Amino acid sequence: MNLLGAVRYRFFLYAGLLPYLLGAAWAYGMEKSFAPGVFWLGLLGIVFAVVGVEAFNEYFDSRLGTDRVFNPDDADPVLGWALRLGAAAFAAAAAIGLALAWNRGWPILLYMTLGGLAAVFYVGPPIRWAYRGLGEAMIALSYGPWMTLGSLHLQTGRFSSGALLASLVPAFLIGALAVVNEIPDYHQDRLVGKRNLVVRLGRQGGVILYLAMASLGLAVPVLGALAGLFPARALLALAALPLLGLSAKAALGSYEEPRRFVPAVRYAVLAYVVATGCLAIGVRSGQ
C-alpha cells in the first residue's frame, strides 16, 4: 500500500473540492463577494482535511480487515504511517481553520468541528459512524451543507437559505454515491460488522435508496429555479440526468454481481461531478 493508493484522488476532485467551489461560486455570483486569498487558504485546508480522512479510513479499514475479508493475503495491511499521516493532515487543517476563524468569524469553528467529528470518527473508534448506519448521513452533511456553507461564510460572513438549498445537490448525490459504493461490498461489510445502510436494507434495497437519493439531488435545481432562489442557469445541473439513467440501468441489472456492478458506480461518480460542477457554474453567473 503506497501513499497514492491510500490518499485516493477521486475524493480530492469529486467529494471535497466541488462543494467548496459551489459555496465560493454562490458567494461570487449571488452575493457579489469574493476574497481570493481566503479562498485559496480555505482550499488548502480542505486538501489537508481530505488527506486526513482518506489516511484514517485506510488505516482503520486495514486494521479491521474490511478490504481483505475474503482474500487476506492480497493486500498488505496499512501500517502506522497512515495513522501518522492522517493525524498530521488533520492538525494542518485545524491550524488553517483556526486562522480563518480568527479572521472570518466563529461559525468557521462550528463547520470545522462538525466536519472534523464526522471525518475522524467515520471509521475510527469509539464512534465509527460507518458501522452504525450513520456513515452515509455524515458524508452527505460533510460534503453538502457543512462544506458549502462553510465556504460561503469564508467569503461573505453570512448564512444564506438559498445556498443551503443548493448544498443539498452535493449532499444527496454524494450520499447516494456512498450507498451505491457499498453494494459490491455487501458480504464483506456484513462479516466485519459494518452495519451500513446497504447491510441493513439489502442490496436491492440499497439500489432503491441510491436512486431515490440521487433523484432528490437532481430535483433540487428545479425546485430552486421555480422558487426564484436559483438562476435559470442552475438547471445546467440536469445534464447529469443521462448519467444517472445509465447508472440506474447498470445497478438494477447487476446488483447481485459485484464485478458487473462497476459501471453503476462509475456513472454515479460522473453524475455527481457533472451536477455539482454545472450547478456551481450556473450560480456563479448570478441572477
State the chain's mean pLDDT as an integer: 86
Q: Which three cell numbers stand for residue 164?
A: 443551503
Which helix or strand (DSSP H or E) is residue 221 part of? helix 197-226
Euclidean distance between CA atoms 273 and 173, whole angstroms: 9
Position 170 scores a pLDDT of 96
pLDDT in tens, 78-93: 567 777 888 898 899 9
| Residue closest to 45 by CA, chosen among 92, 11, 12 | 92
The pLDDT of residue 10 is above 60: no
Domain ranges of the chain: 3-284
- Quote the percentage of the chain above a pLDDT of 90: 56
The pLDDT of residue 56 is above 60: yes
| Residue closest to 183 by CA, chosen among 169, 162, 197 | 197
Euclidean distance between CA atoms 133 and 44, whole angstroms: 30
The pLDDT of residue 162 is above 90: yes
- Quote the percentage of the chain above a pLDDT of 70: 87
Instruction: Between 8 and 166, name the one with better pLDDT.
Output: 166
Position 119 scores a pLDDT of 80
pLDDT in tens, 201-219: 999 999 999 999 999 999 9
Task: Return all residues near 233 (Cβ < 8 A) that are at least 6 apart.
Answer: 281, 282, 283, 285
> According to the per-residue pLDDT averaged within each range, which of 11-15, 61-65, 78-82, 260-264 is highest?
260-264
With beta carbons less than 8 A apart as the criterion, state whether 180 and 268 touch. yes
Position 71 scores a pLDDT of 47
Residues of the chain by 3-state class (helix, strand, coil), percent to 5:
80, 0, 20
Whole-model pTM?
0.88
Instruction: Between 145 and 17, name the one with better pLDDT.
Output: 145
The pLDDT of residue 74 is above 60: no
What mean pLDDT comes out for the span 254-282?
91
What mean pLDDT comes out for the span 191-209?
90
Position 77 scores a pLDDT of 55
The pLDDT of residue 66 is above 70: no
pLDDT in tens, 218-240: 999 999 999 999 999 999 999 99
Q: What is the CA radius of gyration of the chain?
A: 19
Position 3 scores a pLDDT of 42
The pLDDT of residue 115 is above 90: no
Q: Which residues of 111-142 are buried (b: 16+ CB within 10 A; e: fewer)?
A: bbebbbebbbbbbbeebbbbbebbbbbbbbbb
